[in-house]
Amino acid sequence: MTVVAVFVWLSADTGHRSPAPVNAPTPGEVERAEPRSANERVVSDEVRRQALARARVWPGSRQPLQKESFRAATIDEISCRFLVTQLGGTTPKFDCVLESGETLRVKYGNVSEIPSEAAATRLVRALGLASDTITLVTRLRCHGCPAEPFPTMKAVGAVHAGSLFAHAVDYGKYRDFDWVAVERKYDGQPIETATQEGWDFNELDQVDESRGGAPRAHVDALRLLAAFLAHWDNKSANQRLVCVSRQWPAGTPCPEPLLVLQDLGASFGPRKVDLNGWSKIGVWGDRATCRLTMRGLPYDGATFPDVRVGEAGRQLFVKRIRQISEAQAAELFAGARFDQKRGLFSDVHPVDDWVRAFSRRVAMISDGPPCPAL
C-alpha cells in the first residue's frame, strides 16, 4: 500500500462538521510532539547517575494526608484539537491541544487501564508521592480526530509520514469520545540520556542518603506501595526522573531531582482492575525476612527485583495507608468507576468488594512482627 493510499484510507471518516473552523496546531506544535518523549536537554550518563543518587522519593511523607475528595477528578466536557504524534504502547490514546496551547494525552475506549490509572494515581498523590494527574472526562470533543486515532497514528508512524498526514487533517470536523482519561504531566524537567528514559525499580539501590538522596525508609515505602498496587508494568518509560527546580542552568547538576511514578495503568491486577487476582496475589516473597516479590505477576515483575525492606520503611507506608478510611477507599474506587462495565469481557464487582480487598492488602503489610535489621 502506497503512502497516498494509506492517507486516503485513514482519512475516509467524515466525522461531524464543526459550526466554525478550528485552527490547526502550528507547525511548531507538531514538531515538538514528534516524538512525544523527545527531551530538549539530554544529559550524560554521569549527570543522570548523580541525579539518581541525590533524588527524593517520598517528598510528601512529612505532610498530612490529603483530606480532600479521594474521587478521581471528573469534568463534564473538554474541547481540543487533534495533534499528530508518535504513540507507543497498546492502550488506545492520542494527543490533543487545548485552546490555551496545553497538550493533553488522552486515553480512550472501554479499557481497564483508564479506571486503574485514575485510582492508582489518585492514591499515590494522596499518600504524598509524585505522580501525574489523571482526570476523567465524561465527553471529549476532538476537532480533527479520525475515527480511530490510535491505530491511525500507528499506521502513519509505520510509514514515517507524520508531517505529511498533519497537512491532511480536517479541523473543521470533530468526533466525540465518552469517558476518557486525560493525563497531565507532573511539573518537572525530565532528566534523560540519549539511551535512558525514566528509571527502573532495580536502580533504587543507587539512591544515596549520604549524598543528599532519600533515606532508605522512603525508598522501601515506595517499593511497598508498588507491591501493594501490583504495579508490574514498571519498565523505565513508566517512571520519570525529573528536576523540579525552576532554575537549572545547562551543564550543571540538577539541584532537586525527584522520582515520579508516571504510568500506573497496570495496577490492581494482575489483569488491570482484576479483583480476584488482586485479592489473591501477595506482596511478600518471605514475610519473616520482609522480602518483597512480584514474581507472580506478568514479566516476573519486570524491573522489580526481589528485595528486602526495613522496618522504618514498612512503618512509614503503614502509617500513611492506614489514614485512608473505608469510606475514602470506597470513594476512590467509585470515582474511578471500578463498578462500571468496561467492555465485553470485563469482570465487574461492587465497590464494597474492592474496599475489602484494599483492607486485606493493607493487613498483609501491617500485620506481623517487625522487619529484621538490614
**Where do the domains of the chain lie?**
50-366
- Residue 373, phi then psi, degrees to nearest 5: -60, 145
Q: What is the pLDDT of residue 37?
A: 41
For residue range 153-203, list pLDDT tens digits in order: 998 888 888 888 888 889 999 999 999 999 988 989 999 999 999 999 999
Number of H helices, E strands in the chain: 11, 12
Contact 186, 105 (CB under 8 A): no
Q: Which three cell numbers stand for residue 122?
A: 489518585
Closest to 292 (Cα-Cα) out of 354, 231, 241, 209: 231
Contact 55, 259 (CB under 8 A): yes
Q: What is the pLDDT of residue 39?
A: 44
The reported pTM is 0.88
How far is residue 312's CA from residue 314's CA, in Å, rounded to a whole number? 5
Report CA dihedral (238, 270, 120, 264) to the nearest 10 degrees.
10
CA distances from 361 to 31, 55, 118, 322, 357 (A): 45, 28, 19, 11, 6
Low-confidence ranges of the chain (pLDDT < 70): 1-40, 66-69, 72, 343-345
Look at the alpha carbons of 223, 225, 227, 229 in this order and tell me if their dihedral is positive or negative: negative
DSSP state, residue 43: P
Q: Which three cell numbers stand for residue 291?
A: 522480602
Q: What is the pLDDT of residue 207?
A: 98
> ∠258-262-266 over CA atoms, to 5°?
140
